[in-house]
A = this chain, B = another copy of it.
Amino acid sequence: MQIAVLGGTGDLGRALVLRWAYHTDHDVLVGSRDAERAQEAVTEYEQTVSEVGGDPNIVGLDNGKAAEDAEIVVCSVPAYYLVEAIETVSAGLDAGDVLVSPAVGMTRDDDGVHYNPPDAGSVLALAADVTPERVAVVGAFHNLAAGRLADLSRNLDVHTPVVGNDSAAVSTLVGLAEEIEGLRAYSAGPLANAPEVEALTPLLVNLAMYNDELQDTAVTFE
On A, residues with C-beta under 8 Å from B are: 109, 111-112, 114-115, 157, 161, 186-193, 195-197, 199-200, 202-204, 206-207, 209-211, 214, 217-222
Contact = CB atoms under 8 A, between A and B. Distances in A.
A203 B114 contact: no
- Copies per assembly: 2
A192 B222 contact: no
A161 B190 CA distance: 26
B199 A195 contact: yes
Given A189-B210, A195-B114, A200-B203, A222 B221 contact: no
B196 A157 contact: no
Contacts of A191: 111
B189 A111 contact: yes
A112 B200 CA distance: 16
Nearest to A205: B196
Contacts of A188: 112, 203, 206-207, 210
Contact of A157 (B190, B211, B222): B222
Given A196-B200, A217-B222, A220-B220, 7 more contacts: A157-B222, A161-B203, A187-B210, A189-B209, A189-B210, A193-B206, A196-B199
A196 B115 contact: yes
Nearest to A217: B221
B192 A207 contact: no
Contact of A204 (B202, B217, B220, B221): B221
B189 A206 contact: yes
Contacts of A214: 186, 221-222
A86 B188 CA distance: 34
